[in-house]
């Protein structure tokens, strides 16, 4: 059966989705415990199914890297009843074989590699085993998937980079890295939306604001989208930063079929 074969072939996928209560007003439905496109597709597809089902009493759903959060009012829908409804929806198909979302985008985002905007580029290149210029080029050209928006408003978890990029996190958390920082570790890139401390290495910085409260919605990129970076020099970075501050769009979007 389809459900058997897809689960067997995906490392880190659970044989059956795991449904757990998270307090008295939320459920978590997990499809696995790894960063994997198929597990992430399952979470995104099931989140879309839940939204379509529009279950009375459910106030919000949100996909994560590997699960779906369902927040609800337990006095409007009893947790038992909601669990039953969710189980029925889960049984509708093999979610691990779900395709990526139908409407998704490829974003091209400018980024300035190395120097003050990517202070760890040389060290990253050493760990990856290439020159800094090659590391910048490979990182920019790798089409990375948006696995999740989390941690803070608009912070995007991107991946997966090639195996050579399986580089460790820093031992110590470093002081704040500015908004727009692109940080790498364990085959992932995190795009920072605000200045925050981090234990990851900074390879570049983008003038693009992934979270802008002036926009509606304030966050443009969505889970399942793909991102490619366009390397720019520091002077261009400064010009683009000014344009972004004026509310201009400095990224391009294409439909991904």
Partner 1 sequence: MSATLEVIAAGPSLTVQDAGRPGLQRYGITQGGAMDAIAMAEGAALLGQDVALAAIEMAGFGGKFRARGAPLRIALTGAAMRARLDGQDQPWNTSLTLEPDTVLEIGAAEDGAYGYLHVGGGFATPEQIGSRSTHLRSAIGGLEGRALREGDRLPVGKDGGGRTGMVLPRGRRFGQREIRILWGAQADAFSQAERQRFLSCEFDMTTRRDRQGARLKPLGEPFHAESALTGVSDAVVLGDIQIPGDGLPVALLADRQPTGGYPRIATVISADLAALAQIPGHARFRFRLVSEEEALAALRANRREIAELSRQMRPLVRDPRDMGDLLAFNLVDGVISAREEETS
Could you tell me the end-to-end alpha-carbon distance of the chain, in angstroms, rounded to an integer?
27
Measured distance CA(55)–CA(37) in Å, rounded: 27
Q: Considering only residues 49, 66, 187, 201, which one is a binding residue for partner 1 as defined by CB under 8 A?
A: 66
| 213 is a contact residue toward partner 1 (CB under 8 A) | yes
The verdict on 166 binding partner 1 (CB under 8 A) reads no
Residues 214-233 that bind partner 1 (CB under 8 A): 217-219, 223
User: Does a cis peptide bond (omega within 30 degrees of 0) precede residue 9?
Assistant: no
Within residues 72-111, the interface with partner 1 by CB under 8 A covers: 74-75, 78-79
Task: Establish if 61 lies at the interface with partner 1 (CB under 8 A).
Answer: yes
150 binds partner 1 (CB under 8 A): yes
* 118 binds partner 1 per the rule CB under 8 A: no
Range in contact with partner 1 (rule: CB under 8 A) among 15-23, 117-125, 134-142, 236-244? 15-23
Beta 104-113 vs 201-205: how paired, if at all? antiparallel
The one among 69, 89, 90, 130 contacting partner 1 by CB under 8 A: 69
Question: Are 228 and 108 a contacting pair, CB within 8 Å?
Answer: yes
Question: Contacts with partner 1 in 19-58 (CB under 8 A)?
Answer: 20-26, 28, 30, 33-35, 47
Residue 193 contacts partner 1 per CB under 8 A: yes
Among 157, 165, 208, 229, which residue interacts with partner 1 (rule: CB under 8 A)?
A: 157
Q: Which two tokens stand for residue 84?
A: 């039953």
Q: Is 156 exposed, middle or buried (0-12, 13-18, 19+ CB in 10 A)?
A: buried
* Full 3-state SS string of 104-156: EEEEEEEEEECHHHCCCHHHHHHHHCCCHHHHHHHHHHCCEEEEEECCCCCCE
Q: Is 162 in the site for partner 1 (CB under 8 A)?
A: no
CA distance 96 to 200: 30
Separation CA 256–CA 237 (nearest Å):
27
Contacts with partner 1, residue ranges (CB under 8 A)? 12, 20-26, 28, 30, 33-35, 47, 59-67, 69, 71, 74-75, 78-79, 148-155, 157, 193-194, 196, 211, 213, 217-219, 223
């Amino acid at each position: 059966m389809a459900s058997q074969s897809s689960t067997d072939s995906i490392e880190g996928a659970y044989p059956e989705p795991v449904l757990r209560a998270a307090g008295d007003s939320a459920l978590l439905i997990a499809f696995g415990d790894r960063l994997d496109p198929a597990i992430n597709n399952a979470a995104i597809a099931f989140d879309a199914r839940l939204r379509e089902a529009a279950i009375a009493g459910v106030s919000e759903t949100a996909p994560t890297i590997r699960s779906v959060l369902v927040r609800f009012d337990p006095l409007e829908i009893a947790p038992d009843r909601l669990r039953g409804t969710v189980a029925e929806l889960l049984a509708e198909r093999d979610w691990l074989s779900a395709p990526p979302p139908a409407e998704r985008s490829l974003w091209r985002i400018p980024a300035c590699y190395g120097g003050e905007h990517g202070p760890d580029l040389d060290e990253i290149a050493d760990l990856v085993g290439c020159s800094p210029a090659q590391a910048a080029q490979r990182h920019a050209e790798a089409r990375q998937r948006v696995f999740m928006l989390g941690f803070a408003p608009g912070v995007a978890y991107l991946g997966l980079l090639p195996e050579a990029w399986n580089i460790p996190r820093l031992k110590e958390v470093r002081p704040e890295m500015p908004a727009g920082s692109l940080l790498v570790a364990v085959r992932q890139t995190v795009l920072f939306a605000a200045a925050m401390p981090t234990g990851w290495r900074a390879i570049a910085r983008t003038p693009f604001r992934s979270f802008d409260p002036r926009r509606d919605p304030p966050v443009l990129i969505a889970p399942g989208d793909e991102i490619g970076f366009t390397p720019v020099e520091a002077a261009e970075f400064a010009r683009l930063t000014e344009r972004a501050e004026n509310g201009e769009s400095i990224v391009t979007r294409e439909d991904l079929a």
